[in-house]
A and B are shown apart, each in its own frame.
Chain A
């Protein structure tokens, strides 16, 4: 792991309903290249909002998000260009139901990276092989299980060759027996050195894979540190309280 900072978040705030609901109340953190950051916290703590602010799916109310030296909250910045470099995986997979798996994966590379159909398909097939789903290339999303859908969603994002991968509760909508297969793909990705920000309730995954764990509550980062520090020696009472409930 290098100390090269890829995403820098400063004073990030996000309000909904004209300030009635403050999801983020000033978040500061840096994500380094190659780092796996796992964000945990009770529901409503703002962790998903934080993640969605990183690629501006939510527009921050205040503060800045700087990606590779560019402040993407600046309206003059072409956000689409930056999103190409930041893959995102959603709780509900969000595969395109009207396209085959292969088309799901090649649409964006063909339109945005100007890849030829053949080039994009080769890349997609290689990724499908890696997650063991090459035989489903011509299936439609509705023909797949939840775990398969989420694995496809991950490789669909990887087709854009992103610098960072954002995971928004990727296993929360899965049947328990399918959680493992998705976490395995994520672990493999982490081992290959992908920069990852993962919002999850899978404490086992956080403990095993994370370089750094961030605990959030009520729109603040309460505590952050190595898994060892957070899970074995939490300093803040709120962290201790949360971990007591979930572990």
Chain B
């Protein structure tokens, strides 16, 4: 019979496990064998990791796009926008824009002021309570909407850190407000917002663990399932934790590289 080296080691210490006479290294191996190797349990961690990465990736995208829109709506020139010209359309336009700006402020306050767990529960059981929907989508929506509020403030800070003269230079060349924002202001804002943004991404990745509450089998839940099989109180969580750490360190490294690349314009 074909039997792996791990199985052989396990068979070697099994009598000691029965007799409860394991030494330290044998104990460590027992934990790893039961929680990672046996029944290909490592695959469960990897599947959980995959779900965590998937949810995080899309939630970051949702957060970035929505957050940037919210940030722009919160800019002073939008907040206090006046109708340019007389007539019905400009007046209504200005009122709509100011209302959107107010809404953006309210949205940010509510999303930052209430617990993410509560938001997840409301979206899962409240909004999607009566429809069958992939939990991954629920997770992306909940985490994305939440992250957008934080991203909005980070982007707003970034935009406000760009000198007013940059806008004036763009506008004086004839570029419109939107083009000036896209080509001149946002790239500079992104650069100064990058460290804070990195922080937010890290938070978001770890906060997706809250989705285990709605039975989404992401990395934390995967570890939890294994604990319920093996009754090891530490090892599955530590394995999950190491995987989170690996993801976060990789992300930090990547963003650090990006930061150094963006810095090439100010020698």
Q: Is A140 touching B173 in the complex (CB atoms < 8 A)?
A: no
For the complex formed, measure the closest distance between the CB of A160 and the CB atoms of chain B, giving whole angstroms.
6
Interface stretch among B97-105, B176-184, B198-206?
A: B176-184
Contacts A75-B90, A96-B166, A98-B188: A80 and B172 contacting too (C-beta < 8 A)?
no
Contacts A75-B90, A142-B265: A111 and B183 contacting too (C-beta < 8 A)?
yes
Residues from chain B with Cβ under 8 Å of A160 in the complex: 173-174
Q: Is B188 touching A80 in the complex (CB atoms < 8 A)?
A: no
For the complex formed, measure the closest distance between the CB of A144 and the CB atoms of chain B, giving whole angstroms.
11
Residues from chain B with Cβ under 8 Å of A92 in the complex: 163, 165
Considering only CB atoms, which chain A residue lies closest to B173 in the complex? A108
A11 interface residue, CB < 8 Å from B? no
Interface residues of A in 88-108 (CB under 8 A from B): 88, 90, 92, 94-99, 107-108
C-alpha gap A129/B34 in the complex (Å)? 73
B85 interface residue, CB < 8 Å from A? yes
Q: Is A94 touching B165 in the complex (CB atoms < 8 A)?
A: yes
Residues from chain A with Cβ under 8 Å of B179 in the complex: 111
Contacts A140-B266, A142-B266, A142-B267: A98 and B187 contacting too (C-beta < 8 A)?
yes
A76 interface residue, CB < 8 Å from B? yes
Residues from chain A with Cβ under 8 Å of B174 in the complex: 80-81, 83-84, 108, 112, 160
Contacts A75-B85, A98-B187, A111-B179: A83 and B172 contacting too (C-beta < 8 A)?
yes
C-alpha gap A84/B187 in the complex (Å)? 23
A143 interface residue, CB < 8 Å from B? yes
Considering only CB atoms, which chain A residue lies closest to B175 in the complex? A108
Q: How many A-B residue pairs have CB under 8 A?
A: 81
B227 interface residue, CB < 8 Å from A? no
Q: Is A112 touching B184 in the complex (CB atoms < 8 A)?
A: no
For the complex formed, measure the closest distance between the CB of B205 and the CB atoms of chain A, giving whole angstroms.
28
Residues from chain A with Cβ under 8 Å of B175 in the complex: 80, 107-108, 111-112
A65 interface residue, CB < 8 Å from B? no
Contacts A75-B90, A111-B183: A88 and B265 contacting too (C-beta < 8 A)?
no
Residues from chain B with Cβ under 8 Å of A108 in the complex: 173-175
For the complex formed, measure the closest distance between the CB of B235 and the CB atoms of chain A, giving whole angstroms.
48
B171 interface residue, CB < 8 Å from A? yes
Interface residues of A, dominant DSSP: mixed
Residues from chain A with Cβ under 8 Å of B172 in the complex: 55, 57, 83, 86-88, 90, 157, 166
Considering only CB atoms, which chain B residue lies closest to A99 in the complex? B265
Residues from chain B with Cβ under 8 Å of A55 in the complex: 172
Q: Is A140 touching B265 in the complex (CB atoms < 8 A)?
A: yes
Residues from chain A with Cβ under 8 Å of B184 in the complex: 96
Q: Is B85 touching A107 in the complex (CB atoms < 8 A)?
A: no
B191 interface residue, CB < 8 Å from A? yes
B229 interface residue, CB < 8 Å from A? no
Q: Is A94 touching B163 in the complex (CB atoms < 8 A)?
A: yes
Residues from chain B with Cβ under 8 Å of A143 in the complex: 267
For the complex formed, measure the closest distance between the CB of B161 and the CB atoms of chain A, giving whole angstroms.
12
Chain A 146-173: CB-based contact to B (< 8 A → 1; otherwise 0)? 0000000100110010000010000000
Considering only CB atoms, which chain A residue lies closest to B176 in the complex? A80
B84 interface residue, CB < 8 Å from A? yes
Q: Is B171 touching A57 in the complex (CB atoms < 8 A)?
A: yes
Residues from chain B with Cβ under 8 Å of A81 in the complex: 174
Chain A 109-132: CB-based contact to B (< 8 A → 1; otherwise 0)? 001100000000000000000000
B14 interface residue, CB < 8 Å from A? no
Residues from chain B with Cβ under 8 Å of A90 in the complex: 165, 168-169, 172
Interface residues of A in 24-60 (CB under 8 A from B): 55, 57
Most buried by B among A55, A80, A81, A140: A80
Considering only CB atoms, which chain B residue lies closest to A97 in the complex? B265
* A to B CB contacts below 8 Å, 12 in the list: A75-B84, A76-B85, A83-B172, A83-B174, A84-B174, A92-B163, A94-B166, A98-B265, A108-B173, A111-B179, A142-B266, A157-B173
Other than A96-B169, A112-B174, give 19 A-B pairs with Cβ distance below 8 A.
Answer: A74-B85, A75-B90, A83-B171, A84-B173, A90-B165, A90-B168, A90-B169, A96-B184, A98-B191, A98-B262, A108-B175, A111-B175, A111-B183, A112-B173, A112-B175, A142-B266, A156-B173, A157-B172, A157-B173
**Closest 9 A/B residue pairs (Cβ):** A75-B85, A84-B174, A94-B169, A88-B172, A108-B173, A94-B165, A83-B174, A140-B265, A142-B266
